[in-house]
Amino acid sequence: MTIANTLMRYQWDDVTLSLYGKTRADVQAALAKSALNWEDFLALISPAAEPCVATMAQRAQTLTRHRFGNTVSLFVPLYLSNLCANECTYCGFTMSNRIKRTRLNLEEIQREVQAIKAMGFDSVLLVTGEHETKAGMAYFEEVLPVITPHFSAVAMEVQPLSEQDYRQLKQWGVNTVLVYQETYHAARYGQYHLRGKKADFHWRLHTPERLGQAGINKIGLGALLGLSDWRTDSAFTALHLQLLQQQYWQSRFSVAFPRIRPCTGGGIAPVNAITDKQLVQLICAYRLFQPEVELTLSTRESSHFRDNVVPIAINTISAASQTQPGGYSAPTEALEQFATEDTRSVEDVIQAMQRQHLDPVWHDWLPGFG
């Protein structure tokens, strides 16, 4: 039985009832442990744990400093294309948006790389819309040799691919692949993904296993917070992470916490919006549950929120992000995937980190030690 099949044996409603049934005593029992299990994680993300967020934050910060020191890793997303063959109701790249589409050519990519390197970045996340014919393996084969020599770490967030394709990406210098399930609620997933290959819930759910089988160095997981009940989606994400770690222990794992953001075309309102305090609760719960896992916070969040939360439990952040192709080297009319909240320069982000006695790290990993 695959990990995805094991995961789907857990019924959404049953998990929801379990976590909303957690008591203050369950929370205290979880906080008293040095090693937490999944049921403890459910207690820590439950409503019963909300009065304990300050205690959770103190313990999470201690664990973060113990594991990662006073360091925070920096990366930047490089959007290669906003072409997309999917219809997703929450995304600015959705195929029905009648806006300017583009795909960067090699010369444009070189300009983007130069602009990114000038800001100091050595870790890059390559992003495209999900379009297999115009932004698929043939395109990746063309552009990766132009990009990978300039960075010590290259991550990708593109459409789910086959195991063999992931093996090929690894050969071309890709270290990390992010694939967010968006929501683990199968029925609601179908309501958000109307057309295109992304409408295949199970193909996407099995993707992290294909990544593990291909030996990808780091696998990124997450749910888009607000598409469904954020607590239950987070419970499934954490369970997915745990099952993958047990099987593919050679890979590293990261978890991100994207909240729905405004986009061109309007998008949708969150079904179950997560407040700032609840997001802090969720992040701290992950650190207590998985002290070794890498936790990422992007520029979707405001500068105020990031400056206050990063020192507690986050060890990887993006900075100065542009979410449209060509956004670093020249102004562009291309569509942004979503609006960013933290629009500070890299220098401003670093200064804010240093005021918190945190040191920026530009490398994700060094190939010579791999």
Closest CA to 123 of 319, 333, 324, 347: 319
How does 30-50 read in b/e, with b if 16+ C-beta sit within 10 Å?
bbeeeebebebbbbbbbebbe
Query: Which DSSP state fits 294?
Result: E
Q: What is the pLDDT of residues 213-235, one digit of tens each?
A: 999 999 999 999 999 999 999 99
Span between the terminal Cα atoms of the chain, in Å: 31
Between 207-214 and 230-247, two packed helices, what is the crossing angle to 10 degrees? 30
Q: What is the pLDDT of residues 253-267, one digit of tens each?
A: 999 999 987 665 555
What pLDDT score does 265 carry? 55
Q: Which residue has the tokens 């994207």?
A: 258
- Taking the model in full, what pTM does it have? 0.94
Residues 6+ apart with CB under 8 A from 246: none
CA 244 to chain CA centroid, Å, is 16
CB 183 within 8 A of CB 89: no
Distances (CA, A) of 151 to 80, 148, 173, 179, 307: 16, 6, 10, 21, 26
Mean pLDDT of 240-246: 98
Residue 181's identity, in one-letter code, is: Q
Q: Kindly tell me the sign of the dihedral angle through the C-alpha atoms of 301, 303, 306, 308.
A: negative
Residues 6+ apart with CB under 8 A from 179: 157, 160, 204, 207, 208, 211, 219, 220, 221
Structure tokens at 220: 């990124």
What pLDDT score does 240 carry? 98
CA–CA gap between residue 159 and residue 128 (Å, rounded): 8
Higher-confidence residue of 256 and 368: namely 256
Higher-confidence residue of 105 and 95: namely 105
CA–CA gap between residue 277 and residue 208 (Å, rounded): 29
Closest CA to 270 of 331, 324, 229: 229
DSSP string over 109-120: HHHHHHHHHHTT
Where residue 321 falls (left for φ over 0; alpha for ψ -120 to 50; beta otherwise) is beta
CA–CA gap between residue 283 and residue 256 (Å, rounded): 9
What pLDDT score does 272 carry? 81
Structure tokens at 123: 């870790």
3-365, CATH topology level: TIM Barrel (3.20.20)
Residue 279, pLDDT > 60, answer yes
Phi then psi dihedrals of residue 125, to 5 deg = -110, 115
Q: What is the pLDDT of residues 19-75, one digit of tens each?
A: 999 999 999 999 999 999 999 999 999 999 999 999 999 999 999 999 999 999 999
Closest CA to 75 of 169, 155, 172: 155
Which 3 state secondary structure label does DSSP give 255? strand
CA–CA gap between residue 214 and residue 160 (Å, rounded): 13
CA 221 to chain CA centroid, Å, is 6
Residue 255's identity, in one-letter code, is: V
Q: What is the mean pLDDT of the chain?
A: 92
Confidence category of residue 210, pLDDT binned at 50, 70, 90: very high
- Provide the 10 A C-beta neighbour count for residue 264: 16
Strand 176-178 and strand 218-221: pairing?
A: parallel
Query: Which DSSP state fits 107?
Result: H
Q: Do you know the residue count of the chain?
A: 370
Phi then psi dihedrals of residue 251, to 5 deg = -90, 150
What pLDDT score does 101 carry? 83
